[in-house]
C-alpha cells in the first residue's frame, strides 16, 4: 500500500479511517514524530471518543517508544488538554488522536512540539510526513517508557484560575457537548460554577448520532436554539468534537458569530491590559477591529488557521487572539486555544458587563454579517482572477485568499485548508448593500463553478 501523503494537511493530519489513516500509518507517524521533535523528554498522547481512536493512539505510542521516547498516555481528553499538558509539565511534545468536527468516517492527529508550539505543514509536519514515508515495516523493540497519567484535576484548576466565578450571576444555560470530548470534562467543572445547566448530548459517541459536532454550522445548533428558547435560558453553549472550540447561542436563540466572541473577550481582556495586541484572522468583522482600537487595543490581522494565530500571539506577546471559527487563544494558557477557557471567559465578560448576551451582540455587531458561506468550485484560480478584475478599483490584498475592501462593505474569499470548498465571509453596512455585493461575488463564483 502506498503511503498516504494526502492526509497531511495545513494544520494537522486528517484522513478516512482504514483507507487513508490506519494502524500502520499511525505507528510510522509516531516514530517519525519521535525522530523530528527538537527537544528530549516526555511526549504526551491523548485521544478522542471515535471508535478507532484507541487503536490509533496505541500505535502512535508504540511508534514513539520504538524510537526511545518516554510516553504519558493521558487517555480520553479534549485537544486543549494536550496543549495544557505540554505547557504545564514542560514536555517535549504532545499528540492527540482526533478529527475534531469531521464525521465518524474520519480521524486525525494534531501534533504539538515543546513550548506548546503547533506543528503545521510549514512548521514541521512536512518533515514528519517525509520521515514517516521513509520508514520500513521492521518494528524495533520498545525502549521508551510508558505511564498512564490523569491530568483532569490539574486542567480544571488551571481553567478555574482564569476567571472569578464569584462575580457571576446564577445563569440558567443549556450546554450541547455534541457527543464529543467536552462531555467527558464538563462534569468535573460544572459543579464548581454557579450555573444551572441543562446538559445535552454529553454521552461520548464518536458516531455523532444527534448532529455533527461543529458549532460553526447553524444546522448543528438547532436543538440548542430550541432548548434555549423554550426554557428562556440566559444562553446556550455548544462544543465541537474535540472540545477546543465553543460556540454560543444568545438569550433570543440567535447564533453568536465567532467575531462577536472575539469582541466580547477583547473588551474584557483590554479592561485590565490596555494597549495589548489582539490577533485576529482575515475573516474578522470590521466592527471587531474598530472596537478593539476604541478599547485601547491594537488589532493585528493574520491568516486564518489556529497554527498561524497561535504562533503570532506568542511572537507578539499578545494577551489574546481569536479565529472566527471559535478558536480563542490566551497568553495565560501557554498562548494556546481552548474551548473550555473560551466559554468561561465569555461568561466572565458577560457577567461583568451586567448585560444580556443578546444586548452585547447587538451593540458590538455594527454591520450586517451572515454566517460564513461555502462553495464547491472547479477552478479556484479562475474565481480569484475574475473577482480581482471585477473589483479592481477597490483595495485588495492576498494575505489569505482574496480580501476586497469597499467603502461600506468588504469580503474575503479563501480556499479551505481542511475541506474541498471555498469559504466566503462578507459584511456590509446594510442588508441591501450586503445582498447587492453578495450577488456580484456569487455571480463570479458560479461562472467558474
How do the residues of the chain divide into helix, strand and coil, expressed in percent and rounded to 5?
Answer: 40, 25, 35
Q: How is residue 389 written as a grid cell?
A: 478584475
400 SS3 class: coil
Cα(328)–Cα(323) distance, integer angstroms: 6
Q: How far apart are CA 280 and CA 288, in angstroms?
A: 9
DSSP-based three-state secondary structure for 443 = helix
Nearest CA to 47 among 33, 60, 30?
60
Pairing of strands 71-76, 146-148: parallel
Which is the catalytic residue, given 58, 79, 100, 351?
A: 100
Q: What element of type H or E holds 342?
A: helix 339-353
E strand map for 114-215: 117-118, 146-148, 171-176, 195-200
Rg (CA), the chain: 22
Q: CA-CA distance, 445 to 449, in Å (whole number)? A: 6
Angle at 258 between CA 256 and CA 261, to 5 degrees: 75
Where would I find the H helices in 1-47?
Answer: 23-36
123 is known as an active-site residue: no
Active-site residue numbers? 100
Amino acid at each position: 500500500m502506498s503511503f498516504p501523503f494526502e492526509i497531511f494537511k495545513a494544520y494537522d493530519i486528517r484522513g478516512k479511517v482504514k483507507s487513508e489513516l490506519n494502524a500502520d500509518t499511525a505507528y510510522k507517524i509516531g516514530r517519525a514524530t519521535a525522530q523530528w521533535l527538537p527537544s528530549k523528554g516526555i511526549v504526551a498522547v491523548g485521544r478522542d471518543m471515535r471508535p478507532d481512536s484507541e487503536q490509533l493512539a496505541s500505535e502512535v505510542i508504540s511508534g514513539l517508544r520504538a524510537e526511545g521516547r518516554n510516553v504519558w498516555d493521558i487517555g480520553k481528553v479534549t485537544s486543549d488538554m494536550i496543549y495544557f499538558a505540554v505547557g504545564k509539565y514542560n514536555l517535549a511534545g504532545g499528540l492527540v488522536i482526533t478529527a475534531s468536527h469531521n464525521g465518524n468516517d474520519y480521524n486525525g492527529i494534531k501534533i504539538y512540539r515543546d513550548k506548546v508550539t503547533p506543528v503545521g505543514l510549514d512548521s514541521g509536519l512536512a518533515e514528519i510526513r517525509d520521515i514517516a514515508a521513509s520508514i520500513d515495516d521492521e518494528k524495533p523493540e520498545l525502549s521508551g517508557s510508558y505511564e498512564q497519567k490523569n491530568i483532569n484535576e490539574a486542567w480544571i484548576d488551571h481553567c478555574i484560575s482564569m476567571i472569578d466565578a464569584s462575580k457571576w450571576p446564577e445563569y440558567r444555560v443549556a450546554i450541547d457537548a455534541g457527543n464529543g470530548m467536552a462531555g467527558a470534562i464538563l462534569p468535573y467543572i460544572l459543579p464548581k460554577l454557579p450555573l444551572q445547566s441543562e446538559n445535552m448530548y454529553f454521552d461520548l459517541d464518536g458516531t455523532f448520532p444527534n448532529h455533527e459536532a461543529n458549532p460553526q454550522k447553524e444546522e448543528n445548533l438547532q436543538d440548542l436554539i430550541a432548548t434555549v428558547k423554550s426554557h428562556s435560558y440566559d444562553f446556550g453553549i455548544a462544543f465541537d468534537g474535540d472540545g477546543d472550540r465553543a460556540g454560543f447561542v444568545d438569550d433570543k436563540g440567535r447564533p453568536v458569530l465567532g467575531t462577536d466572541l472575539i469582541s466580547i473577550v477583547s473588551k474584557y481582556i483590554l479592561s485590565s491590559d490596555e494597549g495589548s495586541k489582539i490577533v485576529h484572522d482575515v475573516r474578522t468583522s470590521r466592527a471587531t477591529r474598530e472596537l478593539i482600537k476604541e478599547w485601547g487595543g491594537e488589532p493585528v490581522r493574520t491568516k486564518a488557521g489556529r497554527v498561524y494565530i497561535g504562533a503570532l500571539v506568542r511572537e507578539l506577546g499578545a494577551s489574546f487572539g481569536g479565529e472566527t471559527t471559535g478558536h480563542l487563544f490566551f497568553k495565560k494558557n501557554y498562548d494556546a486555544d481552548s474551548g473550555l477557557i473560551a466559554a468561561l471567559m465569555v461568561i466572565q465578560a458577560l457577567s461583568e458587563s451586567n448585560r444580556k448576551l443578546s444586548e452585547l451582540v447587538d451593540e458590538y455587531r455594527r454591520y450586517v454579517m451572515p454566517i460564513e458561506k461555502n462553495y464547491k468550485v472547479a477552478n479556484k484560480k479562475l474565481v480569484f482572477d475574475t473577482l480581482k478584475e471585477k473589483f479592481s478599483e477597490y483595495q485588495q490584498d492576498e494575505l489569505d485568499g482574496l480580501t476586497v475592501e469597499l467603502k461600506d462593505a468588504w469580503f474575503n474569499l479563501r480556499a479551505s485548508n481542511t475541506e474541498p470548498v471555498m469559504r466566503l465571509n462578507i459584511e456590509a453596512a446594510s442588508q441591501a448593500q450586503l445582498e447587492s455585493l453578495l450577488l456580484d461575488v456569487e455571480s463570479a463564483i458560479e461562472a467558474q463553478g
